[in-house]
Amino acid sequence: MTARAIVNYYVAGPQDLSVYIDPDGTAGRVDSPELQPVQVEVEDARSGIRPIFAQDSLAFRHSPSAVFDFGENAGWHDDYERELEALLAREIGAKEVVIFDHTVRIDDPDSTRRPSRNVHSDYSAAGAHQRLRDILGDARAAIWETGRFGFVNVWRPIGKPVASAPLGFVRPRSVSSGDWLPVRLVYPDRTGAILGLAANDQHEWIYFSAMAPNDVAIFNIYDNSGLAPIAHSALDIVDDRTSKSTRTSIESRTLVRY
């Protein structure tokens, strides 16, 4: 079963590509370079496709959480992070997990963190190694770099099933190396390096329809052993007649040692 969706690809140009997050201290503002809206066919994983993390850089799992309130009070962090550590150990063989960010996104114009509607992966190789040092410090990072490590995200709906702006993925086997574009990610206090994706009609899109709070997507952002990064974006489903209740989700960013 497939759906049609609009996604926004990056466009190569004569200038370096940069995305500015919260420029001038304006929370929630994102200034992006030119993006190209494209209608794509998206295969629904509910139809029987079962992506395998070790091959596809993506897995969908049923993983209930005891945490229901992901509010600004950080009291839920310890319990939820223990769940994530157990999940990543079980599902991808993580031996050590460092969880360094939780981002709650609400698909509402007034939200300071809306779903990302640009096709990207969170780090370039250089950006991943720099982020490794930012998080662990030079000495510990150097130890991690002697073995296999990666950045892995875990995404979960909050409160109710996702009825708008579901998260979609481009299967790595369908991406050519030339499709990736380097993009600077500029925050008020630091600059990172991500990968944007340019349009290619060979891309194979996949999503899991009506994901509920007991469902998670586990996906690879960077792996120093060669597992491919996976491009992802919120999808605007075309001719979707289902409920348009506001999507709320949490994306947890983790550093994993195998």
Q: What is the pTM of this model?
A: 0.93
pLDDT in tens, 142-180: 999 999 999 999 999 999 999 889 999 999 999 999 999
CB 87 within 8 A of CB 63: yes
**Residue 135 DSSP SS3:** helix
Provide the mean pLDDT of the chain: 93
Average pLDDT of 57-79?
93
CATH label of the domain that carries residue 134: 2.60.120
Q: Pairing mode, if any, of strands 17-21 and 30-31?
A: antiparallel
Q: What is the pLDDT of residue 32?
A: 82
Residue 83, SS3?
helix
pLDDT at position 241 over 80: no
Instruction: Give residue 242's pLDDT.
Output: 61
> Which residue range is the domain that position 220 belongs to?
2-257
Q: Which residues contact 190 (CB under 8 A, 6 or more apart)?
A: 134
Residue-level pLDDT at 224: 97
Cα→Cα distances 125→92, 192, 219, Å? 21, 11, 16
Residue 138 is given by DSSP the state H
Q: How many domains does the chain have?
A: 1
Query: Does residue 219 or residue 244 have the better pLDDT?
Result: 219
In DSSP notation, the chain reads -EEEEEEEEE---SSPEEEEESGGG-TT-EE---EEEEEEEEEEGGGS----HHHHSEEEEE---S-----SSGGGHHHHHHHHHHHHHHHH--SEEEEEEEEEEE-STT-SSPPP-S-EES--HHHHHHHHHHHH-HHHHHHHTTS-EEEEEEEEE-SS---SS-EEEE-GGG--GGGEEEEEEE-SS-EEEEEEEB--TT--EEE-TT--TTEEEEEEEEETTSPPP-EEEE-EETT--S--PPPEEEEEEEEEE-
| pLDDT at 40 (0 to 100) | 98
pLDDT of residue 151: 98
| Residue 144: φ, ψ to 5° | -60, -35
CA distance 34 to 37: 10
Mean pLDDT, residues 222-227 taken together: 97
Residue 238 CA, chain-centre distance (Å), reads 22
Count how many residues are written for the chain: 258
| Structure token pair of residue 17 | 């590509």
Q: How many CB atoms lie within 10 A of CB 22?
A: 16
Q: Among residues of the chain, what percentage have pLDDT more than 70?
A: 98
**Using 50, 70 and 90 to split pLDDT, how confident is the model at 226?**
very high
Amino acid in position 216: V
Instruction: Quote the CA–CA distance of 225 and 160 in Å, as a whole number.
Output: 36
Residues near 110 by beta carbon (within 8 Å), at least 6 away in sequence: none
Rounded to whole angstroms, the maximal C-alpha distance in the chain is 53
